[in-house]
């Protein structure tokens, strides 16, 4: 399966400001790219690419005063397989976990493990450890939290989600991540593309998506507390402790968002060869 990926983001910049963008496909998916994955910036500026401590590809630059456009379009090959499932995946004792995964057991900006531990124990202590426990957490968050774009709030934490029982994609993932960490299961936040492929087309504008990953049976597995269903066509961009680590753009000063468009659609061979984008979902 071929997927056309892209974005077109505009800012109004009142005065020059340093920015970092995290908009490239994750290095783990780079071998699947069939076209270049370049960050295009108008007007042209000098850029520097680096990899952060989580292995995400980042681009830093000085945005000039005025209108700024960041855009890209690329094509990627996908297996067309749903998120893998292993109901027998075992939970590791903490002492046996790889040292680099211990950070994903700890509190972070949006996931207050210390403040949610007692709640998590009451809810999930009697569930079987491993895959079944993670699925129980995902099921609970999925049915207990109401999704709505009108509930978006940049400062909402996992504890806030538990208390308010409303949120957007990232809020569902933050609460599930925090509960997993409370139960000593390493969990990390993930962001990327997830189009309406194999599911009914949504009437909402396309956006980047959030999900999370847990470490069981020696590897990372994908879970999604928002959709709670294995999906086709996920394309990872970045992972981190929570949303604070994987912001698509960070400005060290004023940068007013002027427009925001994301495209992620399945295309056929003829369309891709001719550079034709399928209609945005």
Domains of the chain: 2-80+247-269 (2.60.40.2250), 94-244 (3.10.620.30)
Compute the Cα dihedral for 139, 144, 149, 151 and give only its sign.
negative
The predicted structure's pLDDT at residue 269: 66
At 75, phi and psi to the nearest 5? -125, 135
Any long-range contacts for 87-92 (C-beta under 8 Å, 24+ apart)?
Answer: 87/131, 87/132, 88/130, 88/131, 88/217, 89/130, 89/131, 89/216, 89/217, 89/221, 90/129, 90/130, 90/216, 90/217, 91/129, 91/130, 91/133, 91/184, 91/185, 91/216, 92/215, 92/216, 92/218
Encode pLDDT of 26-60 as tens digits: 999 999 999 999 999 999 999 999 999 999 999 99
Beta bridge partners of residue 33, listed in sequence order: 76
Return d(Cα 211, Cα 266) in angstroms, integer: 20
Is the per-residue pLDDT at 174 higher than 60? yes
- Provide the CA 7 distance to its chain's centre, in angstroms: 15
Return d(Cα 69, Cα 259) in angstroms, integer: 9
Per-residue confidence band for 278, with pLDDT thresholds at 50, 70 and 90? very low
Encode pLDDT of 151-171 as tens digits: 999 999 999 999 999 999 999
Among 194, 179, 173, 188, smallest CA distance to 266 is for 194
Say how many CA atoms lie within 13 Å of 258 toward its Cβ.
Answer: 14
Q: Is the Cβ–Cβ distance between 208 and 195 less than 8 Å? A: no
Per-residue confidence band for 279, with pLDDT thresholds at 50, 70 and 90? very low
Q: At what angle do helices 113-124 and 169-182 cross, to 10 degrees?
A: 80
Q: Is the Cβ–Cβ distance between 18 and 252 less than 8 Å? A: yes
Give the pLDDT mean for 105-121: 98
Is the per-residue pLDDT at 271 higher than 80? no
Per-residue confidence band for 205, with pLDDT thresholds at 50, 70 and 90? confident
Give the pLDDT mean for 257-265: 96
Give the pLDDT mean for 123-146: 98
Token pair, residue 43, equals 């007007």
Is the per-residue pLDDT at 274 higher than 90? no
Give the pLDDT mean for 76-84: 96
Say how many CA atoms lie within 13 Å of 200 toward its Cβ.
Answer: 4
């Amino acid at each position: 399966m071929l997927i056309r990926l892209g974005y077109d983001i505009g800012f109004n910049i009142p005065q020059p400001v340093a920015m970092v963008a995290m908009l490239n496909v994750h290095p783990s998916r780079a071998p699947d790219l069939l076209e270049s994955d370049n960050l295009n910036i108008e007007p042209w500026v000098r850029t520097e690419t680096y990899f952060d401590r989580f292995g995400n590809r980042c681009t830093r630059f000085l945005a000039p005063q005025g209108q700024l456009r960041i855009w890209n379009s690329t094509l990627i090959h996908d297996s067309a397989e749903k998120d893998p499932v292993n109901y027998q995946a075992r939970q590791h004792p903490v002492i046996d976990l790889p040292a680099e995964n211990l950070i994903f057991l700890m509190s972070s900006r949006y996931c207050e493990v210390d403040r949610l531990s007692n709640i998590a124990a009451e809810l999930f202590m009697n569930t079987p450890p491993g895959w079944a426990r993670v699925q129980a957490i995902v099921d609970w968050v999925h049915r207990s939290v109401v999704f709505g774009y009108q509930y978006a709030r940049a400062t909402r934490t996992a504890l806030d989600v538990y208390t308010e029982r409303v949120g957007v994609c990232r809020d569902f993932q933050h609460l599930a991540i925090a509960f997993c960490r409370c139960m000593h299961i390493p969990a990390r936040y993930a962001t990327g593309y997830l189009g309406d492929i194999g599911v009914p087309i949504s009437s909402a504008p396309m956006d980047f998506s959030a999900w999370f990953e847990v470490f069981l049976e020696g590897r990372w597995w994908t879970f999604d507390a928002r959709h709670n269903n294995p999906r086709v066509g996920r394309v990872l961009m970045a992972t981190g402790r929570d949303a604070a680590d994987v912001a698509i753009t960070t400005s060290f000063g004023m940068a007013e968002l002027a427009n925001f468009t994301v495209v992620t659609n399945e295309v056929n061979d003829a369309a891709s060869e001719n550079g034709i984008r399928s209609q945005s979902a």
